[in-house]
Amino acid sequence: MEYEAVIGLETHVQLKTKSKMWCGCANAFGAEPNTNVCPVCLGLPGVLPVANEEALRLTVLTGYLLNCTIPRHAKFDRKNYFYPDASKNYQLTQYDQPSTAHGFVDFEFNGGISRVRITRAHLEEDVGKLTHFDRTSGVDFNRAGVPLMEIVSEPDLTSADMAYEYLNALKDILIYGGVSDCDMEKGMVRCDVNISVRPVGAKELGAKIEIKNMNSFSGVRRAAEYEIARQIEVVKNGGKLKQSTRRWDDVAGVTEEMRSKEDAHDYRYFPEPDLMPFAPTDAWLADVQKRVVELPLARKQRFITSYQLPAGDAEVFKNDVALGNYFEPIAKQSKNPKAVANWVINNLRAKVTEANEREKAEQGALGLEPADMQLTSLTDLKFKPEALAELIGLVEGKSISNSAAQQVFAEMFESGKAPAAIVQEKGLAQVSDTGVIEKFCDDAIAANPNPVADYQAGKVAALNSLKGQVMKLSKGKANPALVGEILERKLKG
Ligand SMILES: [Zn+2]
């Protein structure tokens, strides 16, 4: 019998707010343990939480970005449990009335577009972080009370690869929307994966097994691959699977049973008595809606259709928002957006990367940490996008050759001078005067009898070597198309 996997994901994302969910403590990574804390986030007796409005806005914004409906009534609940990472003995979350529900995410998979339905995205608070030493354990409450959004998907995913692509698409959407920086290394995104298997074609779901402790998307993919194979093996051998929670061991590459799964009623959820229910008004929702941005996939598709870009270029602009934003206004004014994409991706991006490498080395030598370094970005270049548009126009209009354009670009990147001024100053204007080019061609033919003989014997490629000689003689200024034409005519004649 053949089996198929059924996968659903619960993705926890730290929201990009200045302060925590219920108090004014900083929402910041990397501080000394237990320095961003106060009586509220430590849960001392007698304190009252005050909801962070920006966290509510970001959750509702996520709802819009994930095509969810936004209920007009949501509330917070206490999820009661005892563990050292929660000093209050409960975690505030949204149990049965979340801020957003019933949406979907479209993403690219296997050469097509796949859709995963979103059950809900709700707001909760993060808890402290436990660190285990040799003989003791420590708890850092800096993370306790940081706004955390949980995005729950329907079990619409059927393979580890598909889960991986969904997570990447979700991350892109949240970064585009400014909802979260989604920095995995800082623990801003964490996932639990629910996996079951069933005979192909069966309607009923198998026993749901939850996997925890993956700290990267590739970890999720490996854990899912392992767990799917393990479950299929068990049922093929006549075994029975039961609902449980397992832990992923990234080093050993295996999942291990942690506990049989607890049910919701074990947490004794009840509404938080110290917080008002959340009932957004039309005006409040309209304000949030103004922050809705174009989704990454939509942007990629639009760049392909509007600017006739190859999928590869559009993918680069999808992944690098700033680069895409730089490209678009220039492309709109250009007759050849493909050429603009080439310039922005191959020349501009390469120059910025090169400058950043140099800056990192220089500033690193001065003892600066990466977070404190000042690096060149697309918003502080010495020239304006219009100047790049002008340069591309000079190439398109055949006023300068491609190789001359490279020199002009290098100069404008360093000095910020206008392209036309650089062309003038360096005498780079392309020579389209046939008389001048004829002279260069005659010289090249006279000085290179071997390629000439090769060409006349039928070796068409020999023409390139002669073309190269003419370009050299003209210091890169001859119009290459004219050079080719004239050489051919002379050699055939
Ligand atoms: Zn606090």
Angle at which helix 402-415 crosses helix 419-426, to 10 degrees, equals 110
Q: Which domains does the chain have, with CATH numbers?
A: 3-288 (no CATH), 305-426 (no CATH), 434-492 (1.10.10.410)
CA of 80 to the centre of ligand 1 (A): 20
In Å, how far are 49, 76, 99, 468, 492 from 272, measured between CA atoms?
10, 6, 15, 78, 90
Q: Which pair of tokens denotes residue 69?
A: 């409906």
* Cα pseudo-dihedral 220, 225, 226, 228, rounded to 10: 110
CA of 274 to the centre of ligand 1 (A): 16
Confidence of residue 115 (pLDDT cuts 50, 70, 90): very high
Q: What percent of the chain has pLDDT over 70?
A: 99
Residue-level pLDDT at 404: 86
Higher pLDDT, 137 or 492: 137
CA of 224 to the centre of ligand 1 (A): 37
Residue-level pLDDT at 371: 77
In Å, how far are 160, 296, 464 from 440, measured between CA atoms?
62, 51, 15
209-231 as b/e: b if 16+ CB within 10 A: bbbbbbeebebbbbbbbbbbebb
Residue-level pLDDT at 373: 86
The letter for the amino acid at 185 is E
* Predicted confidence (pLDDT) per residue in 63-77, tens digit: 999 999 999 999 999
Asked whether 140 and 31 are in contact (CB, 8 A), the reply is no
CA of 417 to the centre of ligand 1 (A): 51
Q: Which of 448, 446, 426 is nearest to 438 (CA)?
A: 446
Residue-level pLDDT at 258: 87
> C-alpha angle 337/351/326, rounded to 5°?
40
CA of 451 to the centre of ligand 1 (A): 79
Cα-atom radius of gyration of the chain, to the nearest Å?
30
CA of 21 to the centre of ligand 1 (A): 9
- 68/119 Cα distance (integer angstroms): 9
Mean pLDDT of 267-284: 94
CA of 42 to the centre of ligand 1 (A): 7
Residue-level pLDDT at 262: 65
Asked whether 327 and 340 are in contact (CB, 8 A), the reply is yes
* Cα pseudo-dihedral 436, 442, 444, 445, rounded to 10: 160
Residue-level pLDDT at 433: 78
Give alpha helix (H) positions in 184-295: 217-236, 282-289
Q: Which of 16, 290, 37, 270 is nearest to 141 (CA)?
A: 37
How many CB atoms are closer than 10 A to CB 95? 18
What pTM value is reported for the model?
0.82
Higher pLDDT, 96 or 461: 96
- 335/333 Cα distance (integer angstroms): 7
Higher pLDDT, 260 or 311: 311
Give strand ranges (E) for 200-312: 209-214, 244-249, 254-260, 270-271
Helices and strands (DSSP H and E) totals, the chain: 17, 13
Instruction: Please state which of the ranges 11-20, 158-167, 248-257 shows the lowest mean pLDDT.
Output: 248-257
Residue-level pLDDT at 264: 65
Asked whether 7 and 183 are in contact (CB, 8 A), the reply is no
Q: Which of 158-167, 232-241, 249-258, 423-432 has the highest mean pLDDT?
A: 158-167
CA of 152 to the centre of ligand 1 (A): 27
CA of 244 to the centre of ligand 1 (A): 34
CA of 89 to the centre of ligand 1 (A): 16
CA of 81 to the centre of ligand 1 (A): 20
CA of 309 to the centre of ligand 1 (A): 49
CA of 188 to the centre of ligand 1 (A): 19
Residue-level pLDDT at 129: 93
CA of 74 to the centre of ligand 1 (A): 23
Residue-level pLDDT at 397: 84
In Å, how far are 125, 315, 454, 491 from 458, measured between CA atoms?
76, 42, 7, 11
- The pairing of strands 90-93 and 100-109 is unpaired
Mean pLDDT of 260-277: 84
* Predicted confidence (pLDDT) per residue in 116-139, tens digit: 999 999 999 999 999 999 999 999
* Predicted confidence (pLDDT) per residue in 182-233, tens digit: 998 888 999 999 999 999 988 888 899 999 988 899 999 999 999 999 999 9
Give alpha helix (H) positions in 367-479: 385-396, 402-415, 419-426, 434-447, 449-456, 462-473
The letter for the amino acid at 37 is V
CA of 468 to the centre of ligand 1 (A): 69
CA of 44 to the centre of ligand 1 (A): 10
Residue-level pLDDT at 215: 84
Confidence of residue 456 (pLDDT cuts 50, 70, 90): confident
CA of 255 to the centre of ligand 1 (A): 36
CA of 24 to the centre of ligand 1 (A): 6
pLDDT, the chain, mean: 92
Residue-level pLDDT at 380: 87
On the question of pLDDT at 487 being above 80, the answer is yes
Asked whether 10 and 163 are in contact (CB, 8 A), the reply is no
- 187/206 Cα distance (integer angstroms): 31
Instruction: Please state which of the ranges 31-45, 253-267, 269-283, 311-325 shows the lowest mean pLDDT.
Output: 253-267
